Structure formats: C-alpha cells, structure tokens
Amino acid sequence: MNAGDSIKVKNADWKFGGETVKSFEEHIKRSVPYYQDGHKLVKNLSDFFVKEDSIVYEIGSSTGKLIYELSKRHEHRKNALFYGIELEKDMYEFAKNRYENPNLKFICEDVNLYDFEKSDLFVSYYTVQFIHPKQRQTLINKIYESLEWGGAFLMFEKVRANDARFQDIITTLYMEYKLQNGYTPDEIVAKQRSLKGVLEPFSSEANKDMLKRAGFEDILTVFKYLNFEGILAIK
C-alpha cells in the first residue's frame, strides 16, 4: 500500500525506518496541520526555560530538525546541552549525519529505558502517542522526576475527542485537510490502516490526567487545531 510521498506501508505495521526516513519531513508537514508553526511555538516557549547549563531533551527526535533548531537558538547559552533521543536507528543515523552543532548530541535508545539527567526542558513532538499505553504513565512520571523545579514538559499530541459526535466531526475535517493537501483517498486509507495498533491517541482530558498523576499541577493548552494539541506542563 502507498501512504503518499513514496512511503510504502503494510496493514497495522507503520514503520519510521527504511525508505520512510527520506520522505518523512515532507510527509509530516503535509499530514500534520501547522507542523512548522508548532516548531516555532516550541522554540519561542523554550526561551522561558533554557538557561546556562541547561539540559534539554527531545524524546522521539526523528530526523532531528526540531532539537537542532533548539540547539541553534540557544547556542549562546554557556554549557547548555541538547539531546535528541530516537529509537529508530535509520532516523538516528539520518539526524546525526544531517544536523550538527557542538551543543547537540543524538542518542539511539529507547526512552523508556534511558536514564535522564536533571533537565530544564523536555519536548515530545507527536511522540508519546506512539508509545504503548501501558508504558506512558511510567515515562511521564520519569520525565517529571527528571525535571528541575520550574522546568517544563512540552507535549504535542494527536488527541481523541471526548464524545463520538465530536470525534466524527474532527475525523471528517482532518480527512478533508489531507485531501486538500493532495493525498488521494487510497493513500489516506492506507496510512490509517498502517497505524492500527501503532498510533493510539488519548483524549485531551486523559493526557492532562496522566500529567497530573505524574505530579504536574500547572498545565496549559498552548496549541489546538482539530485533533492536534500542544500542552505546556511546568514542574
């Protein structure tokens, strides 16, 4: 099956490696509304949290573009370090070879097993939705514990609506968005089929409940468009 942008997929078997890597940046820009604007928002928000000696993590850094741009924005911060953690080896190799900065390092590891240092900022840009639900709370707990007091977690996620009527509305509008961006109905269906059991979004309320269980009390929605949402949580 073809999911568009020369990405071949199988039923319930979406992969971030292989040929997907070459087309990923273009594919995601066409698939996720305001994707680049979200990057700008993350960078603007980072100004409130990144200081000298800060450690910043992006979990699921994919091609490395966002964490690289963060490292460039704050390269004047003395001893600030930026880490992009990516499980998929092909993505990791792509990022490492494409984006370089003295304050930036890419790490090929499972974030569920990685031992974070004390940090001022974590970024998850449409990543937690791909982590198995049984592992998510443990990961968010670990992020909270790894943050310095006053540090922040920026989590962008695809979300489900809180009832069936709203879910039908946003699903239809999102499908129309993809059609307007040049994807064919067959490509849209192929992508949806490939994501079965791989992408498992929570609702906005469920994500915020998960953050609260981890210990976060100060939580703000900073971006929202249909079923795409950005949340800022401060420790």
pLDDT tens column, 28-62: 888 999 999 999 999 999 999 999 999 999 999 99
- As to burial, measured by CB atoms within 10 angstroms (0-12 exposed, 13-18 middle, 19+ buried), residue 72 is middle
Q: Where are the domains of the chain?
A: 1-32+160-220, 49-118+144-149
Q: What is the pLDDT of residues 33-42, one digit of tens each?
A: 999 999 999 9
> What is the second-level CATH architecture of the domain 49-118+144-149?
3-Layer(aba) Sandwich (3.40)
Q: What is the pLDDT of residues 70-123, one digit of tens each?
A: 999 999 999 999 999 999 999 999 999 999 999 999 999 999 999 999 999 999
pLDDT(12) > 70: no
pLDDT band at 15 (very low <50, low <70, confident <90, very high): confident
